[in-house]
Amino acid sequence: MRVAVISDIHANLHALEAVHEAIDQEAPDEIWCLGDLVGYGPQPNACCEWTAKHAAVGLAGNHDLGVLGTIDISDFTDDAAAAAIWTRGVLGPPARDYLGVLPTSGRREEIGLFHASPRDPVWEYVLTWEAAEAAIHYSGFAITLVGHSHVPLAISDDPGLPGGHAPGGKEIEFDGAQWLLNPGSVGQPRDGDPAAAWLLLDLDERRASFRRVAYDVERTQTEIRDQGLPDALAERLAHGV
Ligand code: ZN
């Protein structure tokens, strides 16, 4: 089975459409989404509709839950909270109903899926070796998939294997070790590369391939500004931060 893994779309429809085109060229068997469909960006309804239609597995992230009111947004940054409040005002019933039934973790084949981390699927950022190692051991799965940090990562429990940030073009073989993989973010990358990120997993060949695809950043920036969302949310997309 071949799977396209996406995460942290953040209501950026033009990034999502570019990723969709790239995924279509690979024709995977399934698409899995690790959460944060909404928040920050200007097109929450269209991104929920796309994910409901195309993703075989969907998770909810902290931004989805903040918009729904399931978690308190007082812990959000000012810009994130402003975007969550704006999203509440525009989110239609189909998107609300879809997000409302998504779990924050899941399992498929021998793979554990979590929005943030196995021990805290909503909030914990896995950005250090220590956190990655703890996540791998806590989950116990051969492959642990997380999103949330918006930084693509490939880290194994084998100290002899190089791991860490996984830029576009990075390929790994995942036999013989447990791996933590983060596909990076579709709609708001934070590793210095503004291109939308996704991950192709080949469970038969035991390979993972980290992909990036350029999209029309200015179009999303214009929509963010037109909706009166914080300008910093538009600005950061140009720099991938
Ligand atoms: Zn996110």
Residue 97 placed within a domain = yes
Query: Would 157 be classed as within a structural domain?
Result: no
Looking at residue 160, its pLDDT comes to: 74
> Do 69 and 79 form a contact (C-beta atoms < 8 A)?
no
Residue 81, in any domain of the structure: yes
Q: Which domain holds residue 207?
A: 2-106+166-179+186-238
8 Cα–ligand 1 center, Å: 4
* Percent residues over pLDDT 90 in the chain: 89
Mean pLDDT of 130-139: 90
Residue 217 is predicted with a pLDDT of 98
Kindly give the distance from the C-alpha atom of residue 241 to the centroid of ligand 1, in angstroms, as a whole number: 12
**At 91, which CATH number?**
3.60.21.10
Instruction: For residue 87, name the pLDDT band (cuts at 50, 70, 90).
Output: very high
| Ligand 1 centroid distance, CA of 176 (Å) | 30
pLDDT of residue 198: 98
Domain assignment of residue 155, yes or no? no
What confidence tens digit (pLDDT) does each residue in 53-79 have? 999 999 999 999 999 999 999 999 999
- Cα 189 to averaged position of ligand 1 atoms, centre (Å): 9
Domain count, the chain: 1
Asked whether residue 98 is assigned to any structural domain, the reply reads yes
* DSSP summary character for residue 171: E
Q: How far is CA 190 from CA 8, 147, 180, 194, in A?
A: 11, 12, 18, 8
Distance 185 CA to ligand 1 centre (A): 7
Domain contains 112: no
Lowest mean pLDDT segment, chosen from 7-11, 106-110, 148-152: 106-110
Residue type, 197: A
Q: Give CA separation, 223 vs 56, 102, 113, 209, in Å.
A: 29, 27, 31, 31
Distance CA(100)–CA(50), nearest Å, equals 16
Mean pLDDT to the nearest integer, 18-42? 98
Looking at the predicted structure, is the pLDDT value of residue 118 above 80? yes
Instruction: Give residue 158's pLDDT.
Output: 82
Asked whether the predicted pLDDT for residue 159 surpasses 90, the reply is: no
Indicate whether 193 belongs to any domain: yes
Query: What's the pLDDT tens digit per position in 199-224?
Result: 999 999 999 999 999 999 999 999 99
pLDDT of residue 110: 87
pLDDT at 162 exceeding the cut of 80: no
β-bridge pairing 143-146 and 111-114: parallel
- Round to whole Å and give the CA distance between 191 and 165: 8
Cα 107 to ligand 1 centroid, rounded to whole Å: 20
> Does the pLDDT value for residue 161 go beyond 80?
no
